[in-house]
């Protein structure tokens, strides 16, 4: 009996071991990608050093949607053509936006081999902290790549190291409905003199509550709560590392945003916005809003007349300024990094460089490069002007609002310790104030205390 039990136990354990290990093993089949090709048969990733004659297959992390877009295919083809010995292969990760980043993180942590990653100014720092992307300084210095003259102020460093080469920028602009401006007999925004005071005045004139027409439209994203403070470059951290939300500039910004809906009634109040779950694109889908301050990506969306058919004309101007003549616009850079799991870091760096240098040549991309000629800049906006031909928007107008060298780009997102938590705190605490459930003083006190706690927690994290 004992022998039977022992045998059964051994068998049971054996089956379990096989079952448990079956799904956990490393796939020993040669990978069809991620390695060196150009020889009769592509070899397994990293099994053979690359030389100039061989084509290196690099894994480019993309969402399924991005991978299927023609613009992505065109960009990959441009890079392959420029480098000659590199082939970019989509490494498809499910999900979009935040979900995509989470899954990419898990994949990198699990050691999945990738070479080239898309990043932006808020995501790359997290990846850098976790050593999931490579610092590029040595490679840059090694070939004497003149990044300062190519990218200028678009370039950012983290812990004094360069982890991302910027490829494109997105800056806030004022999109406006020319028909509503004309009906209210209000002059269009002038890029040279456009301010928040003028924005409010214009919004008051345009607003016709009885007709459901508002002069302004804004969203509930965190950056709207602190618009002016960020434009004024008020630091969000004190020198001692704690948060700076007790600076009156932040309270003023929050009040300004809430007042637009609650007091001035020039845009839907926050309760209406939340209660009706108003969409981001209400400005484009209706004829009811005079102005919409938003990233220039929305201008590109407006070019899609199938999704956003309009019988009114739109204009684009610089983001309103705190002081007349100012040029501070909120923005964010997008770019590319080399994954720490890459087995072809040099080739991946070359691909990152090519992506950053060339992406602007495809329609709809606003370059992060600062070394382009006037002719090249005009060529960027020409397709946009053609796409918005019915609106009568000129290249000069777009250039002044989006890509003028005089623009002073301030980060639209908080970057620093505890930034994820603080970003959601700004929205959640701001929401209670904007719905009149908290006083301004209470809101700023709560925001300061909770932000300090978030910073401390983040700094004590591994």
Q: Closest separation between CB of residue 19 and other proteins, Å?
A: 5
SS3 assignment, position 244: coil
φ, ψ of residue 177 to 5 degrees: the values are -95, 105
The residue range among 73-81, 273-281, 342-350, 391-399 that interacts with other proteins, by the rule CB under 8 A, is 273-281
Residue 92 or residue 271: which is nearer to other proteins going by CB?
271
Closest CA to 293 of 399, 169, 195, 173: 173
Residue 437 binds other proteins, judged by CB under 8 A: yes
Q: Closest separation between CB of residue 330 and other proteins, Å?
A: 23
Residue 432 binds other proteins, judged by CB under 8 A: yes
Q: Closest separation between CB of residue 438 and other proteins, Å?
A: 8
Residue 459 binds other proteins, judged by CB under 8 A: no
Alpha-carbon distance 400 to 409, whole Å? 13
Residue 52 binds other proteins, judged by CB under 8 A: no
**Count of residues touching other proteins (by CB under 8 A):** 36
For other proteins, which residue of 102, 157, 161, 233 counts as binding (CB under 8 A)?
Answer: 102
Helix (H) or strand (E) holding 199: helix 196-206
Residue 461 binds other proteins, judged by CB under 8 A: yes
Residue 15 binds other proteins, judged by CB under 8 A: yes
Residue 264 or residue 271: which is nearer to other proteins going by CB?
271
Residue 442 binds other proteins, judged by CB under 8 A: no
Overall size of the chain counted in residues = 462
Residue 301 binds other proteins, judged by CB under 8 A: no
Do 460 and 249 meet the contact criterion of CB atoms below 8 Å apart? no
What the block records as the tokens of 55 is: 């084509």
SS3 assignment, position 293: strand
Residue 124 binds other proteins, judged by CB under 8 A: no
User: Which residues, other chains included, contact 359 with Cβ-Cβ below 8 Å and sequence gap of 6+?
Assistant: 75, 167, 168, 365, 367
Alpha-carbon distance 99 to 264, whole Å? 37
Q: Closest separation between CB of residue 303 and other proteins, Å?
A: 30
Is the Cα dihedral 370, 371, 373, 377 positive or negative? negative
Q: Closest separation between CB of residue 15 and other proteins, Å?
A: 7
Closest CA to 290 of 177, 376, 372: 177
Residue 16 or residue 192: which is nearer to other proteins going by CB?
16
Q: Closest separation between CB of residue 277 and other proteins, Å?
A: 6
Alpha-carbon distance 140 to 131, whole Å? 18
Residue 97 binds other proteins, judged by CB under 8 A: no
Residue 12 binds other proteins, judged by CB under 8 A: yes
φ, ψ of residue 34 to 5 degrees: the values are 75, 10
Residue 24 binds other proteins, judged by CB under 8 A: no
User: Which residues, other chains included, contact 377 with Cβ-Cβ below 8 Å and sequence gap of 6+?
Assistant: 399, 403
Q: Closest separation between CB of residue 3 and other proteins, Å?
A: 9
CA 111 from centroid of its chain's CA atoms: 25
Binding residues for other proteins restricted to 370-429, rule: CB under 8 A: 420-421, 424, 428-429
For other proteins, which residue of 126, 198, 208, 313 counts as binding (CB under 8 A)?
Answer: 126
Do 221 and 426 meet the contact criterion of CB atoms below 8 Å apart? no
In the chain, helix, strand, coil percent, each to 5?
A: 45, 15, 35
Footprint of other proteins on this chain (CB under 8 A)?
Answer: 4, 8, 11-12, 15-16, 19-20, 102, 105-106, 109, 126-127, 129-132, 271-272, 274-277, 420-421, 424, 428-429, 431-432, 435, 437-438, 461-462
């Amino acid at each position: 009996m004992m022998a039977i039990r022992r045998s059964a136990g051994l068998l049971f354990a054996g089956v379990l071991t096989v079952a448990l290990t079956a799904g956990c093993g490393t796939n020993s089949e040669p990978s069809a990608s991620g390695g060196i090709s150009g020889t009769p048969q592509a070899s397994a990733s990293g099994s053979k050093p690359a030389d100039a004659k061989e084509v290196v297959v690099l894994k480019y992390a993309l969402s399924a949607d991005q991978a299927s877009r023609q613009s992505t295919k065109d960009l990959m083809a441009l890079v392959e053509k420029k480098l000659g010995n590199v082939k970019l292969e989509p490494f498809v990760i499910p999900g979009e936006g935040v979900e995509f980043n989470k899954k990419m993180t898990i994949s990198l942590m699990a050691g999945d081999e990738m070479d080239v990653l898309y990043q932006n100014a808020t995501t790359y720092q997290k990846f850098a902290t976790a050593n999931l992307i490579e610092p590029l300084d040595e490679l840059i210095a090694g070939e004497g790549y003149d990044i300062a003259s190519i990218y200028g102020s678009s370039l950012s460093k983290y812990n004094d190291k360069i982890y991302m080469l910027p490829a494109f920028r997105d800056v806030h602009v004022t999109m406006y409905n020319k028909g509503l401006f004309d009906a209210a007999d209000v002059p269009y925004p002038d890029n040279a003199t456009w301010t928040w005071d003028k924005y409010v005045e214009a919004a008051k004139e345009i607003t016709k509550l009885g007709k459901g027409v508002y002069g302004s439209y804004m969203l509930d994203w965190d950056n709207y709560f602190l618009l002016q403070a960020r434009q004024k470059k008020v630091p969000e951290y004190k020198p001692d590392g704690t948060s700076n939300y007790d600076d009156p500039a932040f309270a003023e910004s929050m009040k300004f945003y809430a007042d637009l809906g609650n007091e001035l009634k020039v845009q839907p109040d926050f309760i209406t916005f939340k209660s009706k779950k108003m969409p981001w694109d209400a400005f484009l889908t209706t004829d009811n809003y005079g102005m919409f301050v938003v990233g220039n990506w929305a201008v590109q969306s407006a070019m899609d007349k199938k999704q956003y058919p309009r019988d009114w004309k739109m204009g684009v101007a610089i983001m309103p300024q705190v002081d007349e003549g100012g040029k501070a616009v909120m923005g964010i850079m997008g770019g590319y990094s080399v994954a720490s799991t890459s087995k072809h870091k040099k080739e991946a760096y070359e691909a990152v460089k090519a992506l950053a240098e060339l992406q602007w040549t495809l329609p709809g991309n606003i370059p992060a490069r600062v070394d382009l000629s006037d002719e090249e800049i005009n060529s960027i906006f020409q397709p946009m002007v053609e796409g918005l031909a019915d609106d009568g928007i000129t290249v000069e107008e777009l250039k002044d609002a989006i890509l003028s060298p005089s623009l002073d780009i301030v980060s639209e997102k908080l970057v620093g310790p505890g930034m994820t938590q603080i970003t959601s705190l700004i929205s959640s605490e701001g929401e209670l104030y904007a719905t009149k459930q908290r006083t301004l003083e209470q809101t700023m006190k709560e925001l300061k205390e909770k932000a300090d706690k978030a910073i401390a927690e983040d700094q004590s994290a591994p």
